[in-house]
Amino acid sequence: MPKSVRFNLNLLRLKNKYFSQQQFLILLSVLIGFASGLVAVVLKNLSYFIQQLLTGKYLATYHYSYYFIFPLIGLALVYLIVNFIYKRQVGQGIVVTLYSISRKKGILERFQSYASLITAPLTIGFGGSVGLEAPTVVTGASLGSRLSRYFKMNQAARTLLVGCAAAAAMSSIFKAPIAGIIFAIEIFSLDLTLASMIPLLTASVSAILTSYFFFGNDIILHTILEDEFDVSDVPFYVLLGLFSAVVSLYFSKVYFTIFKWFKKLNNKAIRMLVGGVVLGILIFIAPALYGEGYEVINSLLQQDYLQALGNNFFNDYLDQQLYVILFLVIVFIFKSIATSVTIAAGGIGGIFAPVLFMGSTMGNAFALLVNSLGFKQISVTNFTLVGMAGLMAGIMHAPLTAIFLIAEITSGYGLFIPLMITAGISFFITSQIQPHSVYTIELAQRGDLLTHNKDQTVLTLMDIRQEIETNFIPLNINYNLGEIVKVGVVNSSRNIFPVVDKNHIFKGVILLDDIRTIMFDQSLYEEVKVIDIMQQAPEVIDLNNCTMKDIMQKFQNSNAWNLPVVENDKYKGFVSKSKLLTAYRQKLIELSV
């Protein structure tokens, strides 16, 4: 036996001897926390290094207008790496992770553990208008998935470890451990139990300790609350919540419209070129769009508009409040376009940082507008922070994450009430109009989305292809009664026969009861044809269009115990209600940690 195999077996024996399943889960969650923290450090430092190299002192002699070529270079480098080195698509981090949980039993491909480590910093360092949160999550989740498979953990444990990676990533980036845990629960639909809470907590703490080790007390968003919550501001927080909902729906519309346009460009190189040029033009007009944008958010929190919006031909107008409001609106509109274009053109990154950026510009502009109209003087900083929460709740459908993230980065709960008001209103309105977030809408449309609804989760995790029974004998539509008896009845133990044509296209079914009274009358063998006695199936399961929820609904509507399955109209087999119920019970057991 090879040494590596013996080592693996010995390691598994030690694990089973000295640790319970729960204890080992906690140990792995600590390792995943440290790993995710290191991933966050690497991604942040690489991105910062590239950005400083391009926009710092090395190129200080060049005019900012030359920066418009950087996004195209970054997207081109990512295109070359993805298509000629990886030779497979990296995908968008959160969506890839959610899909792996729902359809791949929490298994992520090995290359996801390193795919974003170079491509995401190149995208963002060269000006791509996306964030590092999603690449950090998918990289950490892939490492967690590999660890769980190495130690032979079950599906429930593997899913929990993927969630631990997500919590650790957010905890490390923002130094917000509670928000990290809530993010994992809200976005990945994890069950909040004592068994899951402890691993999430240890992963989050491990990650934040890693962040402190490398970055010290430095945090990504710098703010101290100077203005206390004023109850007379409540109507304005309500208005901000309503505005956040409208803006969230606007962003979703822009995001998916731009994706639809880019999909029409079948050539990926053309998408990259078009995206690079559009992004370069947007950054030329508004340099604040360059990269993640956390520097801009910090400048807005300090109301330093020259630093936030400067370095362009608007500089001379930034001492006038109405022009500042106008420029904030322009930057906000352009940011939603720039983020969508970056991702649609092949850039690697997520929408978390852009959502915070847009929320800060929206909240800041809202406060300046209220103050300029003279209704009441409200805190610009407070509304900037609450605006970020409003958009997070509306776009990502993560109101609790939004509330606790802003509370943690402000080192207190002074804004808890306005955060609850604005985030709650934004989430309620957007969820009524658009039931799924930007992360999950495509997965939901395909039936691949897990939710906190346990029944729905079990149905999503079930694979209909594994439940298809193929021991039914198909009958050709041109058969006569004699051939039905000879080919079908004699050789089958089933009481139902699918009818197909010469191309195996499904046409209908024949029940044994349909021929029971005539199948021994040989005088009818030539006279009676399949087409004379066959009937339409009460429902048909199409593998290309039916989700498991649809299938269960078909059984309920038809009262049938067996339904035919087709793919591209071709007969594949039957699914029985009893087998589905058995599979459902088994999957429910597997989900228990």
Dihedrals φ, ψ of 592, to 5°? -80, 125
The residues spanned by each domain of the chain are 11-215, 231-267+283-452, 459-590
Do 534 and 467 meet the contact criterion of CB atoms below 8 Å apart? no
pLDDT reported for residue 222: 73
Per-residue pLDDT of the chain (593 residues; tens, 9 = 90+): 555 445 445 555 665 666 667 777 888 889 999 999 899 999 999 988 888 887 665 554 455 556 678 889 999 999 999 999 888 888 777 777 777 776 666 678 788 888 888 899 999 989 889 988 888 888 888 888 888 777 777 777 888 888 888 889 889 888 888 988 998 888 877 766 767 788 899 999 999 998 888 877 777 777 777 778 888 899 999 999 999 999 999 998 999 899 889 988 888 899 999 999 999 999 888 888 888 888 889 889 888 888 878 666 666 667 778 888 888 999 989 999 999 999 999 899 888 999 999 999 999 999 999 999 887 889 999 999 999 999 999 998 889 999 999 988 877 678 889 999 999 999 999 999 987 777 766 655 555 445 445 555 555 666 677 888 888 888 888 888 888 888 888 888 888 889 998 889 998 888 888 788 888 878 888 888 888 888 888 888 888 887 777 888 888 888 888 888 998 889 988 888 877 777 767 766 555 54
**Assigned fold of 459-590:** CBS-domain (3.10.580)
Count of CB atoms within 10 A of residue 20's CB?
10
Q: What top-level class would CATH report for the domain 11-215?
A: mainly alpha
Indicate the residue type of 276: G
Q: Tell me whether domains 231-267+283-452 and 459-590 share a fold.
A: no
CA-nearest of 132, 136, 110, 114 to 123 is: 132
CATH of the structural domain 231-267+283-452, one choice from 3.30.530.50, 3.90.950.20, 2.30.42.10, 1.10.3080.10: 1.10.3080.10
> In this structure, what token pair is assigned to residue 267?
């050539």
pLDDT reported for residue 541: 86
Q: How far is CA 286 from the centre of its chain?
A: 29
pLDDT reported for residue 166: 87
pLDDT reported for residue 389: 94
pLDDT reported for residue 461: 62
Do 565 and 575 meet the contact criterion of CB atoms below 8 Å apart? yes
Do 360 and 337 meet the contact criterion of CB atoms below 8 Å apart? no
Distance CA 123, CA 103 (A): 29
DSSP string across 363-429: HHHHHHHHHHHTS----HHHHHHHHHHHHHHHHS--HHHHHHHHHHHTTSSTTHHHHHHHHHHHHHH
